[in-house]
Chains A and B, each alone.
Chain A
Amino acid sequence: MSGKNLQDYWKTNIRYVLMLLVVWFLVSYGAGILWEDALNNIRLGGFKLGFWFAQQGSIYVFVILIFVYVYLMNKLDEEYDVNEN
């Protein structure tokens, strides 16, 4: 693969990673910690929302994030023809 292509591939990868890490940060440090008090005024059935994010929601989102990453990267690998056979 040429140098230019490799740079593009790497830049896109970094963009994906940063995007996903922003979500990672928002659900745990944001919803679960920084805004926990405020979100606790909203209810999700028997849960206060901030508490739910801290003890349940953030973990579900973590799982989803990894699978989104896998999907994006597999597509990207194919696009730039750097996937394994």
Chain B
Amino acid sequence: MSVQTWTFILVGITFALYIGIAIWSRAGSTKEFYVAGGGVHPIANGMATAADWMSAASFISMAGLISFLGYDGSVYLMGWTGGYVLLALLLAPYLRKFGKFTVPDFIGERYYSQTARIVAVICALFVSFTYIAGQMRGVGIVFSRFLEVDINMGVIIGMAIVFIYAVLGGMKGITYTQVAQYCVLIFAFMVPAIFISIKMTGNPIPQIGLGGTVADGQYLLDKLDGLNQELGFSAYTEGTKPMIDVFCITFALMVGTAGLPHVIVRFFTVPKVKDARISAGWALIFIALLYTTAPAISAFVRTNMIETVSNKPYAEMPGWFSKWEQAKLIKFEDKNGDGNIQYVKDATINELTVDRDIMVLANPEIAGLPAWVIALVAAGGLAAALSTAAGLLLVISSAVSHDLLKNAIKPDISEKGELIAARVAAAVAVVFAGLLGIYPPGFVAQVVAFAFGLAASSFFPAIVLGIFDKRTNMQGAVAGMIVGIIFTATYIIYFKFINPEMNNSEHWFLGISPEGIGTIGMMVNAVVTIVISRITPEPPESIQELVENIRIPRGAGSAHSH
């Protein structure tokens, strides 16, 4: 059977599965819609969190990015996993004990202020929309590449699927579909990785194969260091970025991860505080499986690619080469006219440009794996993109129906009315996200730094101080969030949009790139919050009692709205 037939079959089966789960797990109440009724098993929640968190970027782009960045790519590996330690130790158990539905719920109540709630809602909406545009685009790319349908058609199909299970099932439907999607995506990621690891190093475990030897007896990483240097690149295992920037980017990604509303809200769905703690552990195990495999794929595929193309005649390139050339994701220009491919660092004589995103998608083809494995990667990429999109949609819909409508505009709305509003908000958000996928604003890639920077410089300090510092009051938290956001946003906008030509280490503050500035934004927020809280009246007695109460697990009922 051809790759395309296999892809149709596998994508068809997985989509049917997602819809089946959606029908089985329809939400009947707002509690089911927002937090899946609060009865999700910690292991299931761990899987759902992993799928929720690992997006098209983790599945499709990350390994490719690392294969071009080498050691410098470690910021993503550590940054996007280390945040779970913060989440487990500093946030998840306490927010679960608090027992409401959303992150703005916590901010609004802990800081006894509608202003704080509205600031939190705006941040949640901004972060989520930034993210979701990328997911829908990812869906479109996978469809167009593997099923040869138009990108826009792909986005519409993806929208329809998410629409069915997010609007119908709410958090309950999303949770159980995400469990299925995790299984699909991890299987799809691991199978080709294991195949390639065996092929290149003889070891079926990619994490160990990465440290193994290749056919000529050399260690893989030593060989890759050598290949890289021969072509003028820096050694694969050594960094080129300034240390302070590596430090700050890693920190901003960790803190940003812990502050992302669609991740935090997953810990509202488990029955107990104890479950919230262990669930974060399970989530990280499931995530670590992919995140420790990805760097192995990066090194395998880079070695493979250099050996396949470097100084080889263009006419003898394998089939995948021309296929990706047609998709305009590989570009070859024979500058010296010798008919061979020169792939080197020096841009004036380099003849080959390879889009980073194709590394994972093309990996099975480059390694000559069977058709069904290639098709599996398509199904996995879709699972990763759809599961994240659904989690984000839920945050958007609950921010509108619960935080804005129910808690700010129309408190007397009935349970049924709120549920309808939640569904309408989800439906509108799906359509809006789809439009962003079809007409992607040119700045999608640039605004990713925004999502993490804002989560890091707004939510994280407000929540952590809200739990660990009783003295933090409304004045401090609101001022801290606003100053943190404005500082971070200004810095990013200045370098990404106003003066992109100055976006280099010479002009950066302390040599910190816009990707890492969330770290400073977070510190500014924390300092402002603490100082202002100390010079203004302490929070009311009832709030101090609330803080004492969330610090101990006993008495955590299931999540409730009031």
Contact = CB atoms under 8 A, between A and B. Distances in A.
Interface in A59-85: 59-60, 62-63, 65-67, 69-70, 73-74, 77, 81-84
Interface in B212-232: 212-213, 219-222
Contacts of B211: 44-47, 52
Interface string A19-63: 011001000110011101100100011111001101110111011
Nearest to B272: A84
B539 interface: no
Given A48-B237, A51-B221, A55-B295, A28 B82 contact: yes
B210 A29 contact: no
Contacts of B288: 59-60, 62-63
Contacts of A60: 288, 292
Nearest to A55: B295
A25 to B, nearest CB: 9
Given A47-B210, A47-B221, A84-B274, A56 B89 contact: no
A36 B213 CA distance: 22
A33 B246 contact: yes
Which of A13, A36, A66, A74 has most B Cβ within 10 Å?
A66
A56 B84 contact: no
Contacts of A69: 88-89, 277
Interface string B541-559: 0000000100111111000
Given A32-B78, A44-B211, A67 B281 contact: yes
B210 A59 contact: no
Contact of A1 (B66, B77, B285, B552): B552
Interface residues of B, number: 52
A79 B118 CA distance: 40
B81 A62 contact: yes
B3 interface: no
Which secondary structure characterizes the binding site on chain B?
helix
Query: How many interface residues does chain A have, given as a range?
Result: 35 or more
Judged by DSSP, the binding face of A is helix
B23 interface: no
Nearest to B283: A66
A28 B553 contact: no
A34 B539 CA distance: 40
Given A51-B221, A56-B295, A66-B281, A46 B210 contact: yes
A25 B468 CA distance: 20
Contacts of B273: 84
B312 to A, nearest CB: 26
Contacts of A48: 221, 237
Nearest to A40: B237
Contact of A58 (B82, B237, B243, B553): B82
Nearest to A64: B281
A33 B250 contact: yes
B71 A46 contact: no
A65 B85 contact: yes
Contacts of B237: 40, 48, 51
A21 to B, nearest CB: 7
Interface of B: 66, 71, 73-74, 77-78, 81-82, 84-85, 88-90, 93, 207, 210-213, 219-222, 237-239, 243, 246-247, 250-251, 272-274, 277-278, 280-281, 284-285, 288, 291-292, 295, 468, 548, 551-556
8 contacts: A13-B551, A24-B82, A28-B78, A56-B292, A62-B84, A63-B285, A66-B89, A83-B274
Interface of A: 1, 6, 9-10, 13-14, 17, 20-21, 24, 28-29, 32-34, 36-37, 40, 44-48, 51-52, 54-56, 58-60, 62-63, 65-67, 69-70, 73-74, 77, 81-84
